[in-house]
Structure 1
Amino acid sequence: MGSLRSLRLAAGSCFRLCERDASSSLRLTRNSDLKRINGFCTKPQESSRAPSHTYSHRVPLHKPTSWEKKILIWSGRFKKEDEIPETVTFEMLDAAKNKVRVKISYIMIALTVAGCILMIIEGKKAARRNETLTSLNLEKKARLREEAAMKAKTE
């Protein structure tokens, strides 16, 4: 048990020594003005001219259509159409559309499950009344034979 503890202490001190050496070498590279690119050391190039274009940090806005206003209301973002501002961000509109898509998919899943349950119930009722596809096809073929026989007699 004592040897395991001494092994841990030795490993910990070795790790601290390596960590100290690594951090000192990192400090040296941070302070130097050399830049390392693909294994070669080069001095950073100094740009004498300013950038030719400037970036504005404005978010692009969009004037929502009447359909998009309905989507914003259905998504729960706004309560009334009067509360919707003249312009909204594309991110807000995308988030509202995604929320409505999810709601519609949940509704479709619920309707599909309800339709399946309804068809199962109707199928069991039809089976109790002996309205199977086989019996319906046999009745239809018998009726067609009778009609064909009646036509043959009248001609």
Structure 2
Amino acid sequence: MSLMRGKFLNLKYLFCATKAGFRGKINAKSFSEKPPDVNPKESVSHGMESLRQMVVPTDFHKRILVWTGRFKKMSDVPDRISAETLDKAKNKMRIKVSNYSIVATLIACMFMMASGRRAQQRGESLQKMNLDWHKEMSKKIDEERAAAAAALERKNMD
């Protein structure tokens, strides 16, 4: 109890000691007013190294990293990269692909509108095309029926 009342609890030191791998019992010495000299860069980077997952990029991943501007050439991509770097590059690529597909869709829509206007000026319409198709099919069916009737008549005559 007297430890908590009179002494300043340095949580930053406790955090750094835990990150650096402090595994001993916590006693009064570990809560001293002045923490020992610990290089915070070493302790934090040591903790982050163990948390960071490294992956071996495939050729497709290397292309994604180059297309997103992470590296200049495919030969510049290291043998192992962090999963976080690869995820960021993939997310950037997804955004680029979706933007390009939006632009391609808009261009296709404009092309179809222009094509429809030209067809309208020529006098073409879906209704007219449908009527023409039905007339053509009716003629074919009538011709087939006439040919079948003629064949049946010849057969009956023989």
TM-score by length of 2: 0.62
The aligned amino acid for 2:130 is N
Does the alignment pair 1:134 with 2:127? yes
SS of residue in 2 equivalent to 1:85? coil
- Which whole-Å CA distance do the structure 2 matches of 1:144 and 1:83 have between them? 65
The aligned amino acid for 2:54 is L
**Alignment size in residue pairs:** 108
Does the alignment pair 1:151 with 2:149? no
- CA shift, 1:153, in A, is 2.0
1:4-153 to structure 2, matched below 5 A, reads 32=5, 49=25, 56-57=46-47, 58=49, 59-153=52-146
Gapped runs of 5+ residues in structure 1? 1-30, 34-47
Q: Name which structure has the greater RCO, CA cutoff 8 Å, separation 6+.
A: 2
Gapped runs of 5+ residues in structure 2? 7-23, 27-43, 150-158
**Among the aligned pairs, what percent are the same residue?**
31
SS of residue in 2 equivalent to 1:49? coil
The aligned amino acid for 1:143 is E
- CA shift, 1:99, in A, is 0.8
Q: CA RMSD in A?
A: 2.2
